Amino acid sequence: MKGSPNSVLRTDGSLRKKRRFGTPGKPLSHGSSSQSVQAQRAGLPIATGKRALIEEIRKNDVSILVGETGSGKTTQVPQYLLESGIAGQGMIAVTQPRKVAATSLAARVATEQNVSVGSLVGYSVRFDEASSDETRIKYVTDGMLVRELLGDPLLSRYSVVIVDEAHERTLRTDLLITNLKDIQRRRNSPSDVKGKSSAAKLNPLNVSQPDYVDAAMRTFFQIHTDQPPGDVLIFLPGQEDIEGLERSIQLYVDRLPKDIPSIVVCPMYAALPPSQQARIFTLAPAGYRKCILATNIAETSITIPGIRYVIDTGKCKEKRYVARDSGTGFDTLLTRDITKSSAMQRAGRAGREGPGFCFRLYTEDAFDAMAESAEPEIRRCALTSSMLQLRCLGQDIEELDFMDKPDQEAIGAALKTLYLLGALDNKRCLTKLGRDMAVFPLEPNLARAVVASREFGCTLEVIDIVSVLSASSKLFFDSTDEREAASEARRKFRHRSGDHMTVLNVVRAYQVVAAAEKKSGRREWCKRQFLNERCLAEAQDIRDQLREVCTRMQIDWKTSCGEDEQPVLKCLVRGLVQHAAYLQPDGSYKQLMGPSIVKIHPSSSLCDKKVPVIIYDELVYTTHIYGRGVSAVPRSYIAEVPVLNVKGT
Ligand code: CDP
Ligand code: MG
């Protein structure tokens, strides 16, 4: 609770010794990065413990490091290890649960080493990598390192693996720790790093506020008009709330009296493009107050300087697995109360450089009612993708020595999904198909569609669609302001079969524009069509990577089915077979493999249509259960799914 524990896990000593070059303990000369950066490094709380830390890590195969956020664990420890020579010629991996933390930390540490990202210091996250033969410190997402296990079960390229933010207990981190335990003897040596923050003064509410976004806005303007200078950090659950609050604040800014300082609003969430994320680290111009709107990403993963005031809505989004009686289920993001541990972390973000204040938009009773800390992801998320990866490593999720064992129900659901996708046979053994699927850095259902495209001759099209579905932001904005104009603009992309082919039409149109226009032209075009350019640009990167994977697997990604949508839909059915629903006499849809009644999401091009069978990308829970990303498919396509076929005969 007091800080974020990082475990420093070293691979075995023999490897280390064999690989050690140069004089151990002698610092590698790092370039002359600006003196202020070096002074800042030397002033971090962790710097006083540097020598002891290196000694501990040198002596022990496993070390657990606990320290306050901002004390220098993530940025400094890898550099200390590099300088001390402990890592020998191998790489130092530092895992992060989030992509944006990995990339921004790599940038920071590269600056401290006075090198460019991708040389000595690099990163590797899904669909993006900056590293080279020179790279010695690599910030990676925990998921990427799990993926690396598939090709290199001993992680032999790394002499040190730092499992950062281990307390978050993401599914991938748990998987990684289980595997790391497997490949080394385990010894523990806790050592403490003292933090330097002055505790923030807490201001809880007396009455609870149901509309936390509105409460956050009012609190912010009270601070802004009444309190001395100092930046404000507001914690909100997710991107939508952040965007909503940003708009509201901007509206009010124009009406502020002249004598009140101006405001710079900086959003911060995982899906934000790196160029915009960088803004939160830059100082606001003189006379301005910076207001950062962030998700729990700013709790521990990212340290933002200059924060004096924290506003904590007490909410976060949490991925949760919704189990269904039928033994199937899915992950969904739910807004929920944070834990006590998060609340303390949030308060701790204020006043790192002086007295700080935390405004909690919840009562003390609400705080007391919070859980101590978050339930590990392995206990609440879908296991499908991890189970497939483990099977490829020859491991069985039920037999592994986890810190917390996954739920039997979730295991059953994952097994069922993998069986329906054809990745496991009826003896639960990995199939060739399953092995092929695991090569793609995609959710298993989308990987299944791509693999199927080889058989149906439409890899070009399926990859284009899957890339958009795998992007971190949505293609279409759900904006309510210009709904009419947006749907008008979208009409020309519509395909009668539904949303997947509509996505393909958009991608095709964008590709023509992207080939002909510069950046500004593309942006203009997307704006006119009410399309999210960020999604399309990201999808193109993903597409290029998927094409590379196909080439490696000798799947010809240029194979196209032209204008015929049928092969594409057949592939999608193979992947989304669990997401099929049949029209009922009353106009609703009933899941083929579950008990739920599903409506077509209002954003779908099929929203007001009555088609006999649909498949959907995901379920959304609001007043009803909605299927989003919907296509109409002939009933026969479902019957043709091999697994269902076997059952039927
Ligand atoms: O991992 P831990 O929370 O202990 O701290 P860190 O991420 O290593 O950050 C140490 C210090 O580096 C922070 O207090 C910031 O002052 C600075 N930092 C920064 O200026 N920009 C970053 N992107 C990351 C860290
Ligand atoms: Mg850290």
pLDDT, tens digit, for every residue of 479-527? 556 778 888 888 999 999 999 999 999 999 999 999 999 999 999 999 9
Counting ligands in written order, which one lies closest to the CA of residue 278? Answer: 1
578 in the same domain as 525: yes
176 in the same domain as 28: yes
> Cα(636)–Cα(640) distance, rounded to whole angstroms?
6
Q: Is residue 648 part of a domain?
A: no
Whether residue 73 has its Cβ less than 6 Å from ligand 1: yes
> Cα(277)–Cα(638) distance, rounded to whole angstroms?
44
CB-CB neighbours of 282 under 10 Å? 11
Question: What does the pLDDT look like over 164-214, one tens digit per residue?
Answer: 999 888 999 999 998 898 867 432 323 333 734 445 677 777 777 778 999
252 in the same domain as 213: yes
493 in the same domain as 450: yes
182 in the same domain as 37: yes
Mutate to test the pocket of ligand 1, among 40, 75, 104 (most ligand atoms within 8 A of CB): 75
Question: What does the pLDDT look like over 244-264, one tens digit per residue?
Answer: 999 999 888 878 787 888 899
pLDDT mean over 408-430: 93
What kind and span of H or E run contains 92? Answer: strand 91-96
Lowest mean pLDDT across 67-71, 498-502, 561-565: 67-71
Q: Is residue 94 part of a domain?
A: yes
Task: Pick the last residue of a domain from 378, 400, 427.
Answer: 378
Domain that holds residue 77: 7-186
Q: Higher confidence at residue 57 or residue 323?
A: 57
Helix axes 459-470, 533-552, angle to 10 degrees: 130
Counted residue by residue, the chain has a size of: 649
CATH number at 12 reads: 3.40.50.300
> Cα(270)–Cα(101) distance, rounded to whole angstroms?
8
Handedness of CA 73, 79, 82, 84 (dihedral sign): negative
403 in the same domain as 549: yes
Question: What does the pLDDT look like over 335-353, one tens digit per residue?
Answer: 899 999 999 989 988 877 7
Q: Is the pLDDT of residue 326 over 50?
A: no
Give residue 221 CA to ligand 1 midpoint distance, Å: 28
pTM comes to 0.77
Confidence of residue 8 (pLDDT cuts 50, 70, 90): low
Give residue 315 CA to ligand 2 midpoint distance, Å: 22
> Cα(80)–Cα(555) distance, rounded to whole angstroms?
44
Question: What does the pLDDT look like over 570-614, one tens digit per residue?
Answer: 999 999 999 999 999 988 999 998 888 999 998 899 998 999 999
Q: Is residue 192 part of a domain?
A: no
Mean pLDDT score of the chain, rounded to an integer? 86
Q: From 513, 553, 382, select the one nearest 545 (Cα to Cα).
A: 553
Output the pLDDT for position 24.
33
Neighbours of ion ligand 2 (CB under 5 A): 73-74
Q: Is residue 191 part of a domain?
A: no
213 in the same domain as 170: no
Q: Is the pLDDT of residue 320 over 60?
A: yes
Output the pLDDT for position 154.
82
Q: Higher confidence at residue 483 or residue 426?
A: 426
What residue owns the CA closest to ligand 1's atom 10? 72
> Cα(414)–Cα(617) distance, rounded to whole angstroms?
17
161 in the same domain as 68: yes
Q: Is residue 646 part of a domain?
A: no
From its phi and psi, is residue 122 left (phi > 0), alpha (psi between -120 and 50) or beta?
beta
289 in the same domain as 258: yes
Output the pLDDT for position 409.
87
CATH number at 543 reads: 1.20.120.1080
Task: Pick the last residue of a domain from 330, 347, 378.
Answer: 378
Q: How many CA atoms lie within 13 A of 113 on its CB side?
A: 27
Q: Is the pLDDT of residue 148 over 60?
A: yes
Q: Is residue 643 part of a domain?
A: no
Task: Pick the last residue of a domain from 378, 408, 427.
Answer: 378
Provide CB contacts within 8 A for 578, sequence distance 6+.
328, 417, 420, 445, 592, 593, 594
210 in the same domain as 138: no
Taking CA atoms, 452 is separated from 424, 441, 459, in Å, by: 15, 16, 8
> Cα(203)–Cα(307) distance, rounded to whole angstroms?
16
Q: DSSP letter at 565?
A: -
Q: Is the pLDDT of residue 476 over 70?
A: yes
Output the pLDDT for position 322.
63
Atom of ligand 1 nearest to the CA of 46: 4
Q: Is residue 99 part of a domain?
A: yes
Amino acid present at 285: P
422 in the same domain as 292: no
Backbone angles phi, psi at 530, to 5 degrees: 60, 40
Output the pLDDT for position 478.
64
Q: Is residue 281 part of a domain?
A: yes
133 in the same domain as 20: yes
Whether residue 281 has its Cβ less than 6 Å from ligand 1: yes
Q: Are 94 and 74 in contact (CB under 8 A)?
A: yes
**Total domain count, the chain:** 3
Q: Higher confidence at residue 261 or residue 453?
A: 453
Atom of ligand 1 nearest to the CA of 68: 4
pLDDT mean over 92-99: 95
Whether residue 79 has its Cβ less than 6 Å from ligand 1: no
Atom of ligand 1 nearest to the CA of 4: 3
Distance of CA 212 to the CA centre of its chain: 24
